[in-house]
Amino acid sequence: MPVNLIPGEFSPFTIAVAVLSGFIVFFGYISMFLKERLFLSEAFVALLVGIIAGPLVSGGINPYVWDDNDEITKQLTRCIIAIQVMAVGIELPKHYLKKEWLTMFILLFPVMLFMWLISGLFIYLLLESLVIAACICPTDPILANSVVKGRFAEKHVPSHIRNALSAESGANDGLGFPFLFLAIFLLGEDSVGVAIGKWVYETCLFQIALSCIIGVVVGYVARKLLQWSERHHLIDKPSFLSFAIALSLFLMSMTGFSGSDDVLACFAAGNAFSWDDWFRKETEEAHFQDVIDMMLNLAIFVYIGAIIPWWSFHDPALGLTPWRLVVIAILILLFRRLPVVILFKPVMPAMKTYREAVFSGWFGPMGVGAVFLSKIAKEEMEQVYPTAEGQPLPVATQLINPIVLFIVMSSVFIHGTTIPLFKLGKRIRSRTLSFASTSS
């Protein structure tokens, strides 16, 4: 009986794995040059690779031909965000939320409310709604790493600003749910009173308050058990280092079973887990979590680059044209966050100067959290506006994906290149001053 060789396999899975792993390998060769010399964020480079690998250019990765693409995107982004917000909570200094409660309160409530309303206003004037605005409310913890970690951040960004931006990006991914569901309840319920009532007890109490309680309890208990286990020499080093990642995924799954806000629960658990700074100090010399974070972050932004729906950016049936999307992106990037942060600077102790307020107001990037919320928004809008099988989705539902992804792409490109432009501007200014001094 003849023996056949194993045939070559060019399945979507093997191609996607080849692209992702190949990019991580070759990115590694020049990663220090890109990040420390050119000051380009990992997300910026990964998104470019995703666009090249996606259906727009090569077609190597085309998630839109996969079955249940929206569910795959939702679960991927959900896992990445859970791991990232847990890491943010762990990396914050000892008792940080207690010491900077006023700054966090301002950033998470008045500032987020303004971002939601002003974004909704810009989108409504040209297209649609507060549902889309809620998706782009949160700042992204992965993109925020470009200004809170690395050589540029350590040299040019004060630690109190880095901590504030990091804490905000970790907390407000989970706090995007109240804004999203308030808009959805107002659209879906017959009366405003019923919508507000459901929003209060289903979203504010069940999703938000309960998730905070679950996160704090789980984080506290996990810390005490881990300290006991480490004291009695029951846990080895690899298990100790991977504990936070495993805890984030476990908590995400368990909280998801109840229907509560798993992202906010992970952030609360990270804070409670590292409240006394013990775990952070024990693991600061090991870079295991940084390695995992980098691989996941590169992979997810390659994926986001591949799912950008270029064909939807010029769709007269949806009222979408490139110039409209560009105008929306410019307005949101300039006015969504910057004015309100400057306005509240006097009452935020973490903002020492207006220069710091301008910096903090500008760096409010949108990324993985926005994509995650957009998939939830689309699911909920399909319940609000049900359609018969075979019928196209309502325009309001179809608009969510292209608008959110265009704004995310714009944010990654603009915020990903602002750091090198700032560096270039500083060099030009210093050379001009030096030349003027020499001439004198």
Question: Residue 421 above 70 pLDDT?
Answer: no
pLDDT average, residue stretch 138-143 = 88
pLDDT reported for residue 84:
92
In contact, 360 and 341? CB cutoff 8 Å? yes
Q: Average of pLDDT values for 152-179?
A: 88
Dmax of the chain from CA atoms? 92
CB-based contacts of 226, cutoff 8 Å, min separation 6: 235, 240, 243, 279
Cross-strand partners of 315:
320
Is residue 161 scored above 50 in pLDDT?
Answer: yes
Closest CA to 167 of 92, 115, 226: 92
Polymer length of the chain: 440
Average pLDDT over residues 338-365: 92
Cβ(383)–Cβ(406) below 8 Å: no
pLDDT band at 288 (very low <50, low <70, confident <90, very high): low
pLDDT attached to residue 326: 95
DSSP string, 144-182: HHHHHSHHHHHHHS-HHHHHHHHHHHHHHTTTHHHHHHH
pLDDT value of residue 432: 38
Q: Which residues contact 199 (CB under 8 A, 6 or more apart)?
A: 178, 181, 182, 185
pLDDT at 353 over 70: yes
3-state class (DSSP) for residue 320 = strand
Asked whether the predicted pLDDT for residue 420 surpasses 60, the reply is no
- pLDDT digit string, tens, across residues 72-126: 999 999 999 999 999 999 989 989 999 999 999 999 999 999 999 999 988 875 5
